[in-house]
Amino acid sequence: MLTLSSASILPFTFPTWGDAYTAVTGEPASSQSVFALAEISSAAQSKSSTSETLSGKQMSVYIIDVGQGSSTLFTTGDNSILIDAGENDQGGKVLDCLNALKINHLDYIIGTHPHSDHIGGMDDVLKKVEVDTVILPKVPDAILPTTKTYEDVLTLLAEKKIKVITAAPGKSYVIGAMKLETLGPVGEYDDLNNESVVSKISFANTSVLVSGDAETAAEKDILKKDFNLKSDIYVAGHHGSSTSTGKAFLAAIKPAFAAISCGENNDYGHPSASTLQKLKDKGVTVYRTDLNGTIVFTTDGKNIAVKTEK
Ligand SMILES: [Zn+2]
């Protein structure tokens, strides 16, 4: 089903990739794979997408290596979306990536949930980059955090008068050539991980699902909704923990690729052997920031190419 082509017949170019990559990492990119998604991109995958590529346009997805944490950037050049910004000490890393790509404006930032490994670096980004809208989950009062990290973000959002939207399941937003759908959280939970904003970003026939730290309870509630979860790329829930990526959820997403964002030798044992096995059983090609550094997927809406830092 998947065909691996040699890099010399790359069907499209990485815009500013070489320069951006070198600026971010100080090293040339080391590996590159190109995949044709002929059969993966079924028409059912994205109801509103066209069957053709968007001529001349492409979307890049950066799984930024922020150690033990998560930060994912989507950009078409014209429009950009950032999901999470890593720990408090990783804001600079995220900004380095944005600067290297000459992105000084983000259409949307999603803070999946108020844990420091996701929103810690967000204040740094909000200080330096123009942001139109921020999407946050509605957090039940009983588990509302009182951390300085969360306070820093809320204070900046108020100071800068940035529009804040509460994530609503089933809501979609057209952002230039990208479509963002928020799929969760669907219910109310007693822990912050399950309150994670789960989103799907589509670009023509290609789509990416990012589920923050949502665990199986939240995944099951999303599955009860009639959402089309099918996505080519899955940014694995909760850093590849055994508490996420339930079998039914994975079967509904049916990804060709998974990206796991986790720190080298992290204290949590992320990713879990059971999650890796589940992905392997489904034939999913897995990339990990602890092993591969920053991971970049680029798509013309039909084909997907992957580059990793190491
Ligand atoms: Zn996390």
> What would the pLDDT profile of 282-298 be if each residue is shown by its tens digit?
999 999 999 999 999 99
Residue 180 exposed, middle or buried by CB count within 10 Å (0-12, 13-18, 19+): buried
Cα-to-centroid distance, 128 and ligand 1 (Å) = 24
Cα-to-centroid distance, 213 and ligand 1 (Å) = 5
Q: For residue 174, count other CB atoms closer than 10 A to its CB.
A: 10
Kindly list the strands in the beta sheet with 178-184, ordered across the sheet, starting from the edge strand earlier in the chain.
Answer: 171-175, 178-184, 198-203, 206-210, 233-235, 257-260, 285-288
Cα-to-centroid distance, 285 and ligand 1 (Å) = 22
Q: Of 157, 162, 171, whose CA–CA distance to 227 is shortest?
A: 171
Cα-to-centroid distance, 115 and ligand 1 (Å) = 7
pLDDT in tens, the chain (310 residues): 333 443 333 444 444 444 444 444 555 555 555 554 433 333 223 333 344 566 778 999 999 999 999 999 999 999 999 999 999 999 999 999 999 999 999 999 999 999 999 999 999 999 999 999 999 999 999 999 999 999 999 999 999 999 999 999 999 999 999 999 999 999 999 999 999 999 999 999 999 999 999 999 999 999 999 899 999 999 999 999 999 999 999 999 999 999 999 999 999 999 999 999 999 999 999 999 999 999 999 999 988 999 998 8
Q: Which residues of 249-283 are buried (b: 16+ CB within 10 A; e: fewer)?
A: bbebbbbbbbbbbbbeeeeeebbbeebbebbeeee
pLDDT digits (tens, 9 = 90+) for 165-208: 999 999 999 999 999 999 999 999 999 999 999 999 999 999 99
In a domain, 23, yes or no: no
Cα-to-centroid distance, 12 and ligand 1 (Å) = 33
What are the counts of helices (DSSP H) followed by strands (DSSP E) for the chain? 9, 17
Measured between alpha carbons, how far is 159 from 133 in angstroms, rounded to an integer? 14
Cα-to-centroid distance, 38 and ligand 1 (Å) = 33
Cα-to-centroid distance, 10 and ligand 1 (Å) = 34
In a domain, 2, yes or no: no
* Block residue for tokens 């992105």: 103
In a domain, 180, yes or no: yes
Cα-to-centroid distance, 238 and ligand 1 (Å) = 5
Q: Residue 205: which CATH number?
A: 3.60.15.10
Cα-to-centroid distance, 94 and ligand 1 (Å) = 16
In a domain, 20, yes or no: no
In a domain, 12, yes or no: no
Residue 47 exposed, middle or buried by CB count within 10 Å (0-12, 13-18, 19+): exposed
**For residue 176, how far is the Cα from the chain centroid?**
18
Cα-to-centroid distance, 145 and ligand 1 (Å) = 15
Cα-to-centroid distance, 24 and ligand 1 (Å) = 23
* Ion ligand 1: protein residues whose beta carbon lies under 5 Å: 117, 213
Q: What is the pLDDT of residue 21?
A: 46
Q: Of 251, 299, 238, 302, whose CA–CA distance to 278 is shortest?
A: 251
Measured between alpha carbons, how far is 216 from 184 in angstroms, rounded to an integer? 12
In a domain, 26, yes or no: no
Instruction: State the pTM of this model.
Output: 0.87
In a domain, 79, yes or no: yes
In a domain, 75, yes or no: yes
Instruction: Give me the domain span that covers residue 116.
Output: 36-46+55-308
Q: What is the pLDDT of residue 310?
A: 87
Q: Of 259, 197, 264, 205, whose CA–CA distance to 230 is shortest?
A: 205
Cα-to-centroid distance, 112 and ligand 1 (Å) = 9
Cα-to-centroid distance, 248 and ligand 1 (Å) = 22
Q: What is the pLDDT of residue 51?
A: 44
Number of domains the chain is built from: 1
Q: Which residues of 288-309 are buried (b: 16+ CB within 10 A; e: fewer)?
A: bbbebbbbbbbbbbbbbbbbbb
Cα-to-centroid distance, 65 and ligand 1 (Å) = 13
Measured between its terminal Cα atoms, the distance across the chain in Å is 26
Cα-to-centroid distance, 71 and ligand 1 (Å) = 10
What is the H or E stretch that residue 201 is in? strand 198-203
